[in-house]
Structure 1
Amino acid sequence: MLKEYTRPLAAPIDYDQNIFSVLEHRAERTPEDSLVEYKGDGGDWLSFSAVEFRDKVIAIAKGLIARGIMPGDAVSVISKTRWEWTALDMAIMSIGALTVPVYETNSAAQVAMIFNDSRVKMAFAENDAQRDKIESVRGECPNLDDVYVIDYGAIDTIEEYGRGVTTEEFYEREHAVKGSDLATIVYTSGSTGTPKGIELSHGSFVFITYSGINSMPDIAMKPNRRLLLFLPLAHVFARYMQFFCFAGNVSLGLSSNLKTILADFASFQPTFILAVPRIFEKIYNAASQKAGSGIKGRIFANATVVAKEWSAVQQSGEKMPLLLNLQHAVYDKLVYSSIMSVFGGHVEYAVSGGAPLDSSIAHFFNGVGLPLLEGYGMTETCAPTNVNPTEGYKIGTIGLPLQGVTVGIAEDGELCFKSPQVCAGYHNQPEVTEQQIVDGWLHTGDLGDLDDEGFVTVTGRKKDLIITAGGKNVSPGMLEASVMTSPVVNQCVVLGDRKPFIAAIVALDLAETNTWLKAQGATEMEDLAQAARNPIVYAEVERAVNAANELVSRAESIRKFEIVPDEFTEDNGMVTPSLKARRAAITEHYRELIDTVIYAGKK
């Protein structure tokens, strides 16, 4: 490795144990604490105490034993985020079986592929639609036996089956599950091709769970910590955060409806949140649009400038100018406090991951009073490898490695990790395992750098690296993230490999575009095709592109862009379930536009 840094462990971690032990220890440590909270039918928050949830998991596990689930058997869950998902996951893994998550948005063909690759024996579907999807491919899945529907009382049914299984029988199975045993096979959403099954062990999860709470004690260990989790539990980031909450002093709130997320923030009152950058961008844009274009709009615009300037000085370590401090205090009362109230009034920190965080958004929220602690992780590492600390965080970096994690920068600039959290390998793909994990080092495919204090910066993707016809190397991530801070932009894909200049394809968000147009006093658009031709919308995209270009050299700047009249969705193959653009699919789909319009006469 060209560079290498290990963050030392503050205390040894015994990771030769199973993930159920984390829940067991919480039930013993704080038995009456509210552990898992969820919305009831009436909209009120209901809760399980730590002991109640532990006992619920055991009851489900007994039912799985009664139905013949053995160690190593695969059990799938296809559902939105809800307490039953969490309970099933813990129950499956507690008896040595493997949880195989499937996104609700996966197609029937993808379900069949995943079920066959992992030999799924039992499945839990949320509703009729998910059950019908499974049943449509049952004939292609010879290992599949029982399918239960959560909305139709699957949990009660399984518990009833388990009434004849003793608690002693459960613990006999649970105690036999060691840290080296597989806990789950997680299929990546795959921005480039067919999903790969990643094998994660109990010990890997246990290690990074305790490393996480030791690395972030302010977030995890203070009394009365609360997290509202609304990311899909098929994503390993969300699943990890469940275990993080169990290991700390955190009450876990579960919500799956992004349409009600602001109301959920207000009623649940989290102390910290985690989300992908797009969520923070939408909140920023919503605040801007709510302010409008009159005097409120001018106040918000000035408050934004002050927040970013205040944050930049704070990050530099220089003395805060008196006038800037005074302006900041004024806008705190006029603007910032109302933005903070959107999150329920008790949020102290937010963790951002899953995609590059635009530094201007990070500086804005930091100035408002909510540090966005950018982190980094992969499915292959049970989620987090890095996160910014609550004190001494550096905007523009993904922070320090968690305790016990070693980060390396290879000769070609690739970001690599070595840690007990690294996956066992890729299911049924030994050749991929050999390529990606070399001498214990996981090769991430990302390009990065490491400073003297151990803070890591991601500079791009190896596969996404654009080399222009003039030989200039361009990483598109920062440009794309910046353009996507515009309220009208849903996706931005930067082009230019072996081309004479950098260009971009931009897809709009119709609902957000109309909200923005209304705030400008302009006419709303009927569809994306009309919006793509609208000169006011074009001017806003052009403004966002120009702002992005200020971050890079002229050779790296976007010289030309086209707004396409299409929505990028998982159904049309343009994005993954985690909303990452499928660059190759988008490039191929718009090949004619790229060749005959964007680069016409420039070949």
Structure 2
Amino acid sequence: MVEPLRAGGLADSVYELADREPDRVQFARRDAADRDQWTPVTTAAFRDEVLALAKGLLAEGVQFGDRVALMARTRYEWTLFSYALWSVGAQVVTVYPTSSAEQVGWILAQTRAVAVVVEGEDDAMTVGAVCDALPALRSIWQMDQGCVTELWRRGAGVHDELVTERRWLVEPRCTAVICYTSGTTGRPLGCMITHANLAAECDTVFAGWSGLFAEPGQQPAILAFLPLAHIYGLMVQVLCVRSGILMGHEPELSPSSLLPSFQSFHPTCVFAVPYVFERILGAARTAAQDAGKVSLFGRAMDTAVRYAAAVEQQTQGAGKGPGPGLRAAHAVFDHMVYRRLRAVLGGRVRYAVTGGSPFSRELGLMFAGAGITVYNGYGLTETTAAITAQPPGRPRQGTVGRPMPGTAVRIAPDGEVWVRGGTVFAGYVDDPKATEAALRDGWLRTGDIGVLDDEGYLTITGRKKDIIITSGGKSVSPLLMEERLRAHPLISQCVLVGDNRPFVGALITLDAEMLRRWHQVVGARLPVGREHASANKALHAEIQQAVSTANLSVSRAESIRAFRILPKEFTVEEGLLTPSLKLRRDAVYKLCAAQIEQLYAN
């Protein structure tokens, strides 16, 4: 366990580290003219920029306790503004840049934000469309129009001591961030995360897991690409700044932007969501197919799974580890396949961390067998990111690990996971009823269903609100079946349906690139567009095989009896995915009502 934050706030670490190690490189900023070049920023330089911006905020009338919204992608200026705001005792309100005008208006009104920092002109127009209904909103600052430089200029006449005075007023129990939930089951809720919450989370992660961040003698380097408006991405930022880890920013989650950034930044550890690892594996499989070595790749991945499973059993005292034949095959594939997979992440990553959505055991074993052990964790916005994690050196793939030091997990009689600890939030903004419903005697009711094994490893099996109850009275948790189907290369998303219906059905979307390549291999005569997928008998048979295989793991009452292939993938823009890429089931059900009816028409 780590010592809890006794005094001060998150901004203090910026000034303290700069005083101790002024020449330590804290950030790498991408060169605007050459994306492959990164410019170093020392702790002293970052401190000076934060201080200058904090003075500008004071000059613009930002007061202690004021709330200022940040509405931008993951970029250096987001980090700069957050620490400048914390330096003057203000609170950060996180807003996804993909939010609609209605969502932005509601968040800014609920938090009574006095200012909002946006990235570009489109974001400014979104705020402008609702600002007449926001009497508290005084300022809109735009990053791409040089607002940082302008605020530096306006604060030039403010004394440094005024910032110091505000910073010293901050206490651990003060709210640092109002971070909104993903809104998968309704309107997002604003979680009040304190300075103590974030400090406890990040200090615990660094104390217990820092050995995974880099090889001995290396400075850890982490590329931040998760949305900073999400608690997971925000935790990564605070972890880096608080622990002196070299941090870079990448605003795009798409493989076309992310993979080149790995190559130029060379991270030593990766914090990501399962989607990223799925896409990395998909890119490797595509490269193997282009080289005419897809069969070799398949055998290599099978060997990786068997090798990692044997190693896992050995570490848990349940087996002797890989046999000589398996070791030999693994060594051959390491030279031919695995090293190329590791190179995709820049060549230095041996450990990674994932969370935010289900991460399958098979995918975890594949990466572990290929030389990159992915540590899975579990948490909510309300728990300041992870509250359970795989223990260092003892990951158990398929679970989300054990309670982190200083936290506790219990399973309620109805199977719901309850948690408590120093990272549990202070409550929801202006919603005492929701706060009372979530917190009971210090325990947070997560809404997730799970089980604990004899060694305290937690497995999440579903979400209470997602449980499907068929007309025959069978309760079905869709999470695990959806996870199994998404493991198929062609399937990008899967949503189970069947509430008050005679059987379970599935809505399936296909990965466009993998579909195109499938047509090349199979030589199907029908048009390759996804809009024709449901009529392609060969493709339907391929997906049916995946469904049949997944059905082997459940009872007949829980099995998928019918499915529909949808013409396009679910997107954030259509409101079917959250910005952190979680399914919005209610929105999918509403949009796909006709397809659901067709499932049960015969």
Shared fold, TM over 0.5: yes
Partner-residue secondary structure (3-state), 1:75: strand
Distance of aligned partners of 1:293 and 1:39 in 2 relative to their CA distance in 1, 3 Å threshold: closer
Q: Which has the higher contact order (CA 8 A, sep 6+)?
A: 1
Deviation, structure 1 residue 408: 1.6
Distance (Å, rounded) in 1 between the aligned partners of 2:336 and 2:525: 30
Q: Is the 8 A contact 2:208 2:392 kept in 1?
A: no
User: Could you list the per-position Cα deviations for residues 141-175 of structure 1 after superposition, in whole angstroms to 9, with x for gaps in the alignment?
Assistant: 11111111101111001111111111111110000
Distance (Å, rounded) in 2 between the aligned partners of 1:329 and 1:410: 46
Q: Is the 8 A contact 1:220 1:250 kept in 2?
A: no
Residue aligning to 2:263 = 266
Return the letter of the residue paired with 2:288.
A
Return the letter of the residue paired with 1:65.
L
Choose the corresponding residue for 1:251, options 241, 246, 249: 246
Deviation, structure 1 residue 365: 0.7
Residue aligning to 1:27 = 18
Partner-residue secondary structure (3-state), 2:281: helix
User: Could you list the per-position Cα deviations for residues 283-337 of structure 1 after superposition, in whole angstroms to 9, with x for gaps in the alignment?
Assistant: 1122122222885121111111111111121122222211111111111111111
Residue aligning to 1:181 = 174
Alignment gaps of 5+ in structure 1: 1-8
TM-score, length-scaled by structure 1: 0.94
Residue aligning to 1:288 = 285
Residues 1:13 and 2:4 aligned together: yes
Q: Is the 8 A contact 2:26 2:247 kept in 1?
A: yes
Q: Is the 8 A contact 2:508 2:566 kept in 1?
A: yes
User: Could you list the per-position Cα deviations for residues 199-242 of structure 1 after superposition, in whole angstroms to 9, with x for gaps in the alignment?
Assistant: 11111111111111112121358541111111111111111111
* Map 1:35-114 → 2, pairs under 5 A: 35-41=26-32, 42-43=34-35, 44-114=37-107
User: Could you list the per-position Cα deviations for residues 28-67 of structure 1 after superposition, in whole angstroms to 9, with x for gaps in the alignment?
Assistant: 3433221121211122111211121122111111111111
Q: Is the 8 A contact 2:308 2:368 kept in 1?
A: yes
Distance (Å, rounded) in 2 between the aligned partners of 1:512 and 1:298: 16
Partner-residue secondary structure (3-state), 2:73: coil
Q: Is the 8 A contact 1:93 1:184 kept in 2?
A: no
Distance (Å, rounded) in 1 between the aligned partners of 2:372 and 2:434: 40
Distance of aligned partners of 1:27 and 1:323 in 2 relative to their CA distance in 1, 3 Å threshold: same
Return the letter of the residue paired with 1:189.
S
Distance (Å, rounded) in 1 between the aligned partners of 2:95 and 2:534: 34
Partner-residue secondary structure (3-state), 1:459: strand
Q: Is the 8 A contact 2:8 2:167 kept in 1?
A: no
Partner-residue secondary structure (3-state), 1:274: strand
Distance (Å, rounded) in 2 between the aligned partners of 1:305 and 1:229: 31
Return the letter of the residue paired with 2:112.
R
Partner-residue secondary structure (3-state), 1:124: strand
Residue aligning to 1:140 = 133
Q: Is the 8 A contact 1:199 1:427 kept in 2?
A: yes
Distance of aligned partners of 1:532 and 1:166 in 2 relative to their CA distance in 1, 3 Å threshold: farther
Query: Identity of paired residues, percent?
Result: 37
Return the letter of the residue paired with 1:174.
R
Q: Is the 8 A contact 2:533 2:565 kept in 1?
A: no
RMSD: 1.9
Distance (Å, rounded) in 2 between the aligned partners of 1:240 and 1:204: 10
Deviation, structure 1 residue 20: 0.9
Residue aligning to 1:598 = 599
Q: How many residues align?
A: 591
Partner-residue secondary structure (3-state), 1:463: helix
Return the letter of the residue paired with 1:529.
E
Q: Is the 8 A contact 2:515 2:528 kept in 1?
A: no
Deviation, structure 1 residue 441: 0.6
Deviation, structure 1 residue 512: 4.1
Distance (Å, rounded) in 2 between the aligned partners of 1:543 and 1:99: 49
Distance (Å, rounded) in 2 between the aligned partners of 1:274 and 1:247: 16
Partner-residue secondary structure (3-state), 1:120: coil
Q: Which moved more, 1:555-564 or 1:369-378?
A: 555-564
Distance of aligned partners of 1:25 and 1:397 in 2 relative to their CA distance in 1, 3 Å threshold: farther
Q: Is the 8 A contact 1:274 1:352 kept in 2?
A: yes
Distance of aligned partners of 1:531 and 1:406 in 2 relative to their CA distance in 1, 3 Å threshold: same
Runs of 4+ that moved beyond 6 A? none
User: Could you list the per-position Cα deviations for residues 509-568 of structure 1 after superposition, in whole angstroms to 9, with x for gaps in the alignment?
Assistant: 334422443455667956431234333433332233233223333332222111112332
Choose the corresponding residue for 2:310, options 313, 318, 331: 313
Distance of aligned partners of 1:294 and 1:540 in 2 relative to their CA distance in 1, 3 Å threshold: farther
TM-score, length-scaled by structure 2: 0.94
Q: Is the 8 A contact 1:227 1:252 kept in 2?
A: yes
Partner-residue secondary structure (3-state), 2:466: coil
Distance of aligned partners of 1:507 and 1:56 in 2 relative to their CA distance in 1, 3 Å threshold: same
